[in-house]
């Protein structure tokens, strides 16, 4: 196992069961809220996979692990990424939090033994999506947004990485179920199309 990865779980007893271990590891790093979010994303991803004909087990696994890189020190995201031999894009250098999606894929493989390329792909693009996404990529991407809770929204406000009006909308009761019911989001062929659809909902709700 990579030394940096090993250090992140040093002294933490693991069971081999992903849900339990993700919850434990995140809690031991002071990220219990991310553990609850991960559980919600796993459940939502599983639900979407069943509904849209995806692989429910892959979706649930990716959901549990998609934010496991919350355990990487925030101030060292670029350093960790470079030490793992991963090139940092200019956009990621400007907003290092973007790196967390690809870092989660590294940790899913290194710490949890995930070798399924489809699962690692979905984890690795769960924030931004990517060109020519698979159905699983889109399911996990959307599950993350649908299951976005108040804690995550408040964090984004604090870090100013998201517009305030968007976060206000995300905290509204009913917003989640509105997006959840929109099958069209999963049919969009691109990140640009997905965000255009999501933005149309944001505008609708902000205008009410
Ligand atoms: Fe994330
Ligand atoms: Fe997330």
Does the global pTM surpass 0.85?
Answer: no
**The residue count for the chain:** 208
Report residue 188's pLDDT band, with 50, 70 and 90 as the boundaries: very low
Query: What mean pLDDT, rounded, does the chain reach?
Result: 80
Ligand 2 centroid to 37 CA: how many Å? 7
**Residue 146's pLDDT is what?**
84
For 28, 117, 131, 173, the CA distances from 64, given in Å and listed in that order, are: 16, 16, 23, 24
**Minimum-distance ligand to the CA of 97?**
1
Q: Which two tokens stand for residue 59?
A: 């979706």
User: Which tens digit of pLDDT belongs to each residue from 75-128?
Assistant: 999 999 999 999 999 989 989 999 999 999 999 999 999 999 999 999 999 998
Ligand 1 centroid to 67 CA: how many Å? 5
Average pLDDT of the segment spanning 156-161 = 43
Ligand 2 centroid to 94 CA: how many Å? 20
Ligand 2 centroid to 127 CA: how many Å? 8
CB 143 within 8 A of CB 44: yes
Token pair 């206000």 in the structure block, residue: 168
Give me the domains of the chain, ranges plus CATH numbers: 3-206 (1.10.3210.10)
Residues with a beta carbon under 5 angstroms from ion ligand 2: 67, 144
**Minimum-distance ligand to the CA of 101?**
1
């Amino acid at each position: 196992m990579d030394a940096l990865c090993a250090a992140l779980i040093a002294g933490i007893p693991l069971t081999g069961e992903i849900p339990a271990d993700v919850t434990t590891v995140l809690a031991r790093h002071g990220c219990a809220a991310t553990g609850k979010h991960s559980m919600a994303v796993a459940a939502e991803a599983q639900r979407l996979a069943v509904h849209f004909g995806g692989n429910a087990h892959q979706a649930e696994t990716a959901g549990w692990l998609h934010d496991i890189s919350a355990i990487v020190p925030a101030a060292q995201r670029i350093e960790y990424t470079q030490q793992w031999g991963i090139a940092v894009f200019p956009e990621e250098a400007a907003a290092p939090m973007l790196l967390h999606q690809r870092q989660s894929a590294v940790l899913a493989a290194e710490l949890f033994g995930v070798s399924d390329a489809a699962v690692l792909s979905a984890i690795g693009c769960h924030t931004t999506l990517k060109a020519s996404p698979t159905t699983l990529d889109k399911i996990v991407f959307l599950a993350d947004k649908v299951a976005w809770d108040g804690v995550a929204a408040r964090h984004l406000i604090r870090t100013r990485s998201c517009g305030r009006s968007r976060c206000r909308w995300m905290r509204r009761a009913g917003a989640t179920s509105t997006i959840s019911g929109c099958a069209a989001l999963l049919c969009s062929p691109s990140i640009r199309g997905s965000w255009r659809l999501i933005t149309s909902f944001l505008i609708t709700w902000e205008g009410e």
